[in-house]
Homo-oligomer: A and B are copies of this chain.
Amino acid sequence: MPRILIVGGSDAGISAALRMRELDVSVEVTVLLRDAYPNFSICGLPFLIGGQVSDPARLAHRGLDALQAAGLEILPCHCAIGVDAASRTLEVINPDGQTQMFPWDRLLLATGARPVCPSLPGIDQLGVFPLRSMRDGLRLQGYLELRQSRRAVIVGGGYLGLEMAEALSSRGMEVTLLERNPSLLSTVHPSLGRRVEEELGRRGVRVLTGVTVKGIDDGAGALRVLGDPELAVQSDLVLLAVGVSPESELARRCRLPVGAAGALVVNRRMETPVAGIWAAGDGVETYHRLLDRNVYLPLGTTAHHQGRIAGENIVGGDRLFAGSLGTQVIKVFDQVIARTGLRAEEALAEGLPAITIPFRSPAHKSYLPWAGELHIRLTGDSRDGRLLGAQMLGPFPQEVSKRLDVLATALFHGMTIEALSDLDLSYTPPLSSPWDPIQMAGQEWGRAVSAGSKGA
């Protein structure tokens, strides 16, 4: 029986481990993780900080008992520091601080990503926090409770920054969100980013865009965030939310090649170029289904997918990762914003003649009084009408997220925008319209592109 070792006990590692045991109950799987939190939902940290989740243990997708009951050996607080591919051993610092060698026949590296920490003066002060791991989350929570912090500055207006703006604001804090770009959420069109900014404004969050942080002063009993154009904001804490980079140090040490953004190079079987070593999750490159090449696109969903594929292949399967479309959603107070596929500028950069047509529609029959408005942006190839990407924003109960997923599924299958109208989608007046808004958006795209080409 081959000895299977997994380094990393988060989404990719545990998904892989569970899949292996599901397919073959005879395999022995050992998961080593650096911290004490196997299989925790780090996406849930903002909800812990925001107070919706009172017990941190609830953030576990599964408890340790459940993982052990699934037949996994879980070794918390085991820090892998070296891989020897020739002798097939893993060098580990165990909880007692001793070095220990673990032999393996098959190894999965699922080491994840770490928060980017910009090199700025004052960044190492007490009160400046990243938020990526459970440890980060508990540390931040402790600080907030101990200090009774009143003011927060968040650096970065991406997914984490926005969720944390809501979370800290829900605690009654005064929140200032700083974003370097001219609009929030650089993964969607600025017009949607601005609507998110308006929603934050309505909820009392101060948003400053186009601001580059220059450093953090230690002011009189408070931090002072300095920025350009001229900015100085007093704050009790500073949250850094400027992205993540792959945790690939272990892999580099054994000379595994890294590619995009420093992430491990893997094929669609999640194999590294070294026989016997697989890799998956936020530390590796991700095959992009539309671009047909690897990119760095770390997402919890992708980590689960890749882990499951790796797990299957490690126990003898032969399955390809179907690829990511970069499908994402965020809920910011009462607005939901989702996206999939390529933005127009990404498509244009690939040489695709992409056209995006914006469309607005009530989410359901507008004779019912509570209809919220959806903002839909479909991007398609002007030559053959193929769907390339979609973005959607709308108020919370209007099924933005799963409506976008219909488009993600269409995109998965390479549908044209016109063919969206062929889909047989569900309708009842309080939930949709006889043509779903995504189909109307598709019809509008067709009219606009056809009018444009006639005009040209």
Contacts and interface: CB of A to CB of B under 8 A. Distances in A.
Give the most central of A43, A305, A421, A424: most B CB within 10 Å.
A424
Given A47-B429, A427-B301, A428-B43, A421 B327 contact: no
A399 B402 contact: yes
Interface stretch (A122-130, A235-243, A361-369): A361-369
A169 interface: no
Nearest to A329: B426
Interface stretch (A51-59, A67-75, A170-178, A378-386): A51-59
Contacts of A34: none
Interface string A274-313: 0000000000000001000000000111111100100000
A367 B53 contact: yes
A423 B336 CA distance: 20
Interface residues of A, number: 68
A324 interface: yes
Contacts of A404: 426
Contacts of A323: 424
A73 B154 CA distance: 59
Interface stretch (A138-146, A347-355, A409-417): A409-417
Given A11-B434, A405-B426, A412-B423, 4 more contacts: A43-B427, A305-B422, A329-B432, A406-B406
Interface of A: 11, 22, 41, 43-44, 47, 52-53, 58-59, 61, 289, 299-305, 308, 322-331, 336, 338, 340, 365, 367-369, 396-397, 399, 401-406, 408-410, 412-413, 419, 421-432, 434-436, 447
